């Protein structure tokens, strides 16, 4: 067996910030609660359709609750990230998991992102755009300061390494 055949892709070293669990839970609640509230109101307001609306409410509420409880923990378990002098490595996904490795030499831009719910939890995301058709490497759920420091560090590394991104 040659050295090349023995190489295996390992999981990135760093987990996301634990506060990402709260962020994902709130995001899930924003998706799950409106249909539950609407179905509950319709069930209460339309007596002839209570049976069917109540059944629909139960199905949506149970599925929504399962999603609300399972999704944040599952994503926290899967999502990881790492940077080295040579590359940015991110693993993400829910059912379909994706590992992305971008060489520092291919980095074109490094941006931080932070939506209103992320900001409530002191979180931000990092978007590393590369000279690749696969699109950017995204790392969501970082501490805001860590994301800013990482963006600055990766931008400096990319400037120092000659490559496709410049």
Alpha carbon 136 to its chain's center = 13
Cα 101 from Cα 7, distance rounded (Å): 15
Q: What pLDDT does residue 5 have? A: 54
- Bridge partners (DSSP) listed for residue 130: 107
Cα 131 from Cα 84, distance rounded (Å): 18
Q: What pLDDT does residue 164 have? A: 56
Cα 55 from Cα 61, distance rounded (Å): 10
Q: What pLDDT does residue 43 have? A: 95
Alpha carbon 96 to its chain's center = 13
Angle (CA) 153 155 156, round 5°: 65
Provide the residue count of the chain. 166
Please answer whether residues 79 and 69 qualify as being in contact, where contact means their C-beta atoms are separated by less than 8 angstroms. Answer: no
Q: What pLDDT does residue 4 have? A: 53
* Positions in the chain short of pLDDT 70: 1-8, 163-166
Q: What pLDDT does residue 61 have? A: 97
Cα 74 from Cα 147, distance rounded (Å): 22
Q: What pLDDT does residue 163 have? A: 62
Cα 128 from Cα 139, distance rounded (Å): 8
DSSP tally for the chain: helices H, then strands E: 4, 7
Tokens 């994503």 -> residue: 75
Q: What pLDDT does residue 2 have? A: 47
Cα 93 from Cα 106, distance rounded (Å): 23
pTM of the model: 0.84
Three-state SS for 19?
A: coil
């Amino acid at each position: 067996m040659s050295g090349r055949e023995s190489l295996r892709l390992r999981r990135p070293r760093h987990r996301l910030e634990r506060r990402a669990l709260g962020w994902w839970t709130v995001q899930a609640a924003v998706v799950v609660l409106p249909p539950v509230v609407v179905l509950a109101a319709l069930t209460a307001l339309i007596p002839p359709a209570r049976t069917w609306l109540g059944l629909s409410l139960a199905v949506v509420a149970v599925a929504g609750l399962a999603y609300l409880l399972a999704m944040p923990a599952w994503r926290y378990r899967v999502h990881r990230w790492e940077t080295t002098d040579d590359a940015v490595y991110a693993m993400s996904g829910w059912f379909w998991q994706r590992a992305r490795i971008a060489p520092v030499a291919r980095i074109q831009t490094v941006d931080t992102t932070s939506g209103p719910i992320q900001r409530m939890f002191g979180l931000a995301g990092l978007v590393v755009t590369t000279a690749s058709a696969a699109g950017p490497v995204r790392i969501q759920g970082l501490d805001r300061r860590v994301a800013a420091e990482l963006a600055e560090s990766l931008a400096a590394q990319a400037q120092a390494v000659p490559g496709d991104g410049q």
